[in-house]
Amino acid sequence: MCIVEVEGMRGFPTACTTPAMGGIVVKANTPQIQELRRNILELVLTEHPHTCLVCDRKERCQPYHICLRKVAVTTGCIMCPKNGRCELQKVVDYVGLAEVKLPYTYRDLPILRDSPFFDRDYNLCILCGRCVRVCQEIRGVGAIAFTYRGSDALVGTAFDYSLEEAGCQFCGACVDACPTGALAERAAKWEGLPERVITTICPYCGVGCQLNLEIKKERIISSVPILEALANKLPLKNFVFQGTPNKGQACVKGRFGIVEFVHHPQRLTNPLIKENGEFKEASWDEVLDLVADKLQRYKGDQFALISSAKITNEENYLSQKFARAIMGTNNVDHCARLCHSPSVAGLTQAFGSGAMTNPISDIGDAACVFVIGSNTPSGHPVIALEVKRAISKGAKLIVANPREINLCRWADVWLRHLPGSDVALLMGMMRVIMDEGLADLAFVEERCENFDAFKQSLKDFDLDFVEKVTRVPKAKIIEAARLYATQKPATIVYAMGITQHSHGTDNVFAIANLAMLTGNIGKPFSGVNPLRGQNNVQGACDMGALPNVYIGYQRIDNPDIQKKFEDFWGVSLSPTPGLTLPEMFDTIHSGKIKAMYLIGENPVISEADAKHTEEALKKLEFLIAQDIFLSESARLASVVLPACSFAEKDGTFTNTERRIQRVRKAIKPTGNSKPDWWIICEIAKRMGGKGFDFSDPSEIMQEIAKVTPGYGGVNYQRLEKVSLCWPCPNEESLGTPILHIGTFVRGKGRFTPLSYKPPAEMPDKDYPLILTTGRSLYHYHTGTMTRKVFGLNFLEPEGAVEVNPADARGLGINQGDKVKVISRRGEVITKARVTEASPPGVVYMSFHFAESAANILTSATVLDPVAKMPELKVSAVRIEKV
Amino acid sequence: MPHELAEIFKSYQAEKGAVIPLLQKVQENLGYLSKEAISEIAKFSGISESEVFGVASFYAQFRFTPRGEHSLKVCLGTACHVRGGSNILETVERELGVQPGGTTSDYKFSLERVACFGCCALAPVMVVDKDVHGRMTTTKVKDILGKY
Ligand code: SF4
Ligand code: SF4
Ligand code: SF4
Ligand code: SF4
Ligand code: FES
Ligand code: FES
């Protein structure tokens, strides 16, 4: 339908394939073109149910559509889930087709319901190919393709496999691209058009995808990313397309995993107070008075607050202010301890800032992408699309991962190193780069310091040693080193596989060294990019929900800073840094912490050595849990405060690329739940605290801007128009998407000499296998949200331990057998999945499942000396068949 | 991965994008494109199984079922067509219960449609393995099939 007339050209070229040139005259709407379009359309409609399309009474049956659409077979628009938003309808109107004279054939194909989230009715398909293209070209999946040809041509899978067998990731991109009712989201199928649409941010991961929540009768009916092409046409007042992290894409969690958890019947609707071991419902006044009264008795370091990477910036700011100004302690931390504390510590020392150096969209334009310790397609699906984009533009891909992740099939080099040998691997690469003269010494000379000490430490990493420790053949290390050093700009992407080690900070230093050595930092499309896990983990760190810094990484142990905050908040503050998360649990055991305020966290599942954590929580005299569900940890609480979900409140999240984005209230709070910021303020005020009189989160942001240099230019008015990456020091600033241009934040980039340290726990006779943990695409963190979503549970109902066939044979284990995984800390029972994805000697579990919680097995005793990160990625285990 | 596939892939290492020649080579060796073959080709060339299948199913030359014991070809070239080749084909289809490109469930016959064997004088022509059966009539079909 994109045919046009161009003066001086013969025939009717298609607009989308004809390059525009100066001076050409294009006509898009002449009687002749419209006639041709009508003819084409008529042909298309011979295989598409068109009765309603050309019916002259179509308005008159609208009142009955509720009854009519319940039929199983769609034979006209009135029975079609796409009615009202169908592009085919629009085209028919536009070209004015009034009649289809050619004979009609109904394809009579069965409706395919193999996806838990959408139906495929290829009787309605017009073979436009959009779904195929988005799946292959944008998503890089290719689950569907055109099959057969001529009149048999159809969109389908190889051998009619189910979508799951065909590798579908259930991202829903095809559904959103489909112009007709052929692909329809099942849950929203008969909902019709929304009453209103609110643009907000996905609450799951750190990518921070912009999503449109479609609302009808105070219910979210669907959550859809905004396609670029449609963005301008939709009546969206508050939509900022410039600088979205996701460019109209999302993943299964954001696309299909939101409605069910927000509207889940198990949402907490009333405050709960535990009496004689039983929860009973209470009013807000009752519970807030009780909390305020109790907390008066636990001021100082006997109190600890665990804030959350799931709540907004404003709420994190208030929670740390509450702990510091009201409770008089710096015992405040959150789950970043368990993901990127080594990044913050390491990158701050090396560069002066602990965040991603470049925006997500830079990855797609890099000439070489080095992905280490990140299963990007599972953990950060939308960032994997950028990796895919880079590859289709000809970039080289290096993947370093012990497991065969999806990205490996595109990799030019796949380094399958042993878990825990990252320092050796990276130093080995740097050794090659130095020896072969591939280093950017001019950059090192001009921009960096401490190079000689670093160079000295490279001596220990001759490739024979590196090969032995990492089990990666020398040739591959050399190839990877050459690629990374010569294909510029090169970018490094990493995640938990680097940080969750007892020497996680060293791993981060190694990465920083590598980037500086080749000059791949402080420039577009290069950089060091730690992918943050939770939706607002970056924000929670920025807001100072950390024991050693105030907001904006201003150090607790600096008396000037302390003075600044004492003046600003009008209270005196504790000069001693507080305890980190794992230290808090130890301190509860030793009886020094007696009360805890837990906001939106579920440490019983997410902490290393879960048993130890659970016992600690039980030992507390007073535990407040504030959450949207009664999580495993909340069950242990003295009082439970029901919080609003992200869809029921205003605020901001800061995503992994430091982009500050507006979260908008879309629906009324569920039951009597309240926004976290309101709850914190109420408790503070009842305890006589000053500076908690906020009526709206925008006021909290004004306060944040005053004391946080990087957020100085951020306010809600601006966020309606622009999306800003911090640092954004003043209202003129448009933010800083790329850090360290010209000079590092700390001045000079600092090299760190390194030595190889084996993981704290290596396999031995009794525990011969290495257990490593990770995330699946379908679940999120401890599963409090995702495991409430039917379709996500359907796709991945239970945990499993992945075992290499060679190990499985030795243990006599078959696919699906029940097995016991045993470590020095405990044991869990789960199913075995025998797969080549795990190398011999290494087994893998994801940590989302309470009933087979991987973190019962991991160790909390050996912490990273700098960042206090427990070794979550490497523990020694053995497996027994049960 | 079956040994044959590994061998074939070796010679295509330099041109992983050349899916069609690869498909041809694999079919030549295995006689058809099995599920496993499609899956390995997909892995080898870095595209999905559905994409490989999509390409293969576009061309009539590729088969997804193993070849039967006997290959049965019915000619529909001009001469044969004029002399009733399509009736012969229809009869064969009915007798065997398969479409061109398919194989009978007992793997006895694989049916194909061809355009001209070069013995138009004998039209209509049906060829079973190497035996040419000329001047076919619908009544002869059953007898001939019975001989194999
Ligand atoms: S796909 Fe569009 S044109 Fe076709 S039946 Fe549905 S609403 Fe009508
Ligand atoms: S849901 Fe995503 S992965 Fe699955 S077929 Fe559609 S576009 Fe492809
Ligand atoms: S996008 Fe929809 S209409 Fe177009 S080919 Fe795919 S299923 Fe058919
Ligand atoms: S990639 Fe992350 S932010 Fe985007 S939709 Fe998925 S879970 Fe949400
Ligand atoms: S052919 Fe041009 S947009 Fe479809
Ligand atoms: S047309 Fe049939 S053999 Fe030539």
Ligand with an atom nearest the CA of residue A16: 5
The per-residue pLDDT for A569 is: 93
- Average pLDDT of the residues in A179-197: 88
- Give the mutation candidate from B35, B38, B50 for the A interface (greatest A CB count, under 10 A): B50
Whether residue A721 is predicted with pLDDT greater than 90 in this model: the reply is no
Kindly list the structural domains of chain B, giving each domain's residue range(s) and its CATH number in brackets, ordered by start.
3-58 (1.10.10.1590), 70-147 (3.40.30.10)
pLDDT at A242: 52
On average, the pLDDT of chain B sits at 87
| Of the ranges A285-289, A708-712, A784-788, the best mean pLDDT one | A285-289
Given a cut of 80, whether residue A550 has pLDDT beyond it is yes
% of residues, chain A, pLDDT over 70:
91
Whether B54 has a pLDDT exceeding 60, the answer reads yes
Sign of the torsion angle spanned by Cα atoms A729, A562, A679, A681 = negative
Q: Give pLDDT tens digits for A789-823.
A: 777 767 766 778 888 888 888 888 888 888 888 88
Mean pLDDT for the stretch of residues A365-382: 91
More confident residue, A730 or A684: A684
- Residue of A146, A169, A391 best to disrupt the B interface, most CBs of B under 10 A: A146
For residue A815, give the amino acid letter.
Answer: Q
* Residues in chain B within 8 Å Cβ distance of A147: 50, 53-54, 57-58
- Retrieve residue A186's tokens: 């099942």
Q: Which helix (H) or strand (E) holds A270?
A: none
Which chain B residues are within 8 Å of A159, Cβ to Cβ?
35, 38, 53, 64
Tell me which ligand sits closest to the C-alpha of residue A253.
4
CATH annotation of A1-106: 3.10.20.740
- Test B53 with A159 for CB contact under 8 angstroms: yes
Q: Please name the residue whose Cα sits nearest to atom 5 of ligand 4.
A: A254
Distance of CA A197 to the CA centre of its chain: 23
Chain center to CA of A16 = 34
Give kind and range of the element (H or E) at residue A502.
none
Q: pLDDT for A12-24, tens place per residue?
A: 888 878 887 888 8
pLDDT band at A183 (very low <50, low <70, confident <90, very high): very high
Who wins on pLDDT, A523 or B66? A523
Of residues A143, A148, A410, nearest to B50 (C-beta): A143
Separation of alpha carbons B20 and B23, rounded Å? 5
Report CA-CA distances (Å) from B63 to A154, A306, A818, B92: 18, 61, 40, 19
pLDDT of residue B56: 92
Confidence class for position A788, pLDDT limits 50, 70, 90: low
Q: Which residue has the tokens 């050093």?
A: A485
pLDDT at A545: 93
> Looking at the predicted structure, is the pLDDT value of residue A629 above 70?
yes
Count of other CB atoms within 10 angstroms of residue A746:
16
ipTM here: 0.81
Mean pLDDT of B8-37: 85
- pLDDT higher than threshold 90 for residue A53: no
**What is residue A4's predicted lDDT score, i.e. its pLDDT?**
87
Return the HEC string of A604-649: HHHCCCHHHHHHHHHHCCEEEEEECCCCCCHHHCCEEEEECCHHHC
Walk across the sheet containing A639-642 and list its strands: A278-281, A272-275, A639-642, A622-627, A595-599, A303-306, A332-333
Looking at residue A596, what is its pLDDT? Answer: 96
Confidence check: pLDDT of A284 > 90:
yes
How many of the other CB atoms lie within 10 Å of CB of B120? 17
Domain parsing of chain A, residue ranges: 1-106, 279-337+536-654+669-711, 341-530, 769-881
Mean pLDDT over residues A211-222, rounded? 92
In this predicted structure, the answer to whether residue A79 has a pLDDT above a threshold of 60 is yes
Q: Confidence class of residue B12 from pLDDT cuts 50, 70 and 90?
A: confident
Indicate the top mutation candidate among B83, B125, B126 to test ligand 6's pocket, ranked by most ligand atoms within 8 A of CB.
B125
Task: Quickly name the fold that domain A769-881 has.
Answer: Barwin-like endoglucanases (2.40.40)
* 3-state SS, residue A339: coil
**Mean pLDDT, chain A, whole residue set:** 87
Predicted confidence band at A665 (pLDDT cuts at 50, 70, 90)?
very high
Share of chain A above pLDDT 90, in %: 51
The band of A26, judged by pLDDT with boundaries at 50, 70 and 90, is confident
pLDDT at A161 over 80: yes
Whether chain A has a CB inside 8 Å of the CB on B32: the answer is: no
Length of chain B: 148
User: Where does the pLDDT of residue A240 fall: very low under 50, low under 70, confident under 90, or very high at 90 and above?
Assistant: very low
- Evaluate if residue A238 carries a pLDDT over 80: no
Beta strand pairing call for A26-27 and A595-599: unpaired
CATH of A279-337+536-654+669-711, picked from 3.40.50.620, 3.30.70.380, 3.40.50.740, 3.40.1410.10, is 3.40.50.740
Per-residue pLDDT at A858: 67
- CATH no., domain A341-530: 3.40.228.10
How much is the average pLDDT of A443-467? 93
A40 lines ligand 5 (CB under 6 A): no
pLDDT in tens, A322-346: 999 999 999 999 887 777 778 888 9
User: For A406-473, where are the E strands, in sequence order?
Assistant: 413-415, 448-449
**DSSP code at position A324:** I
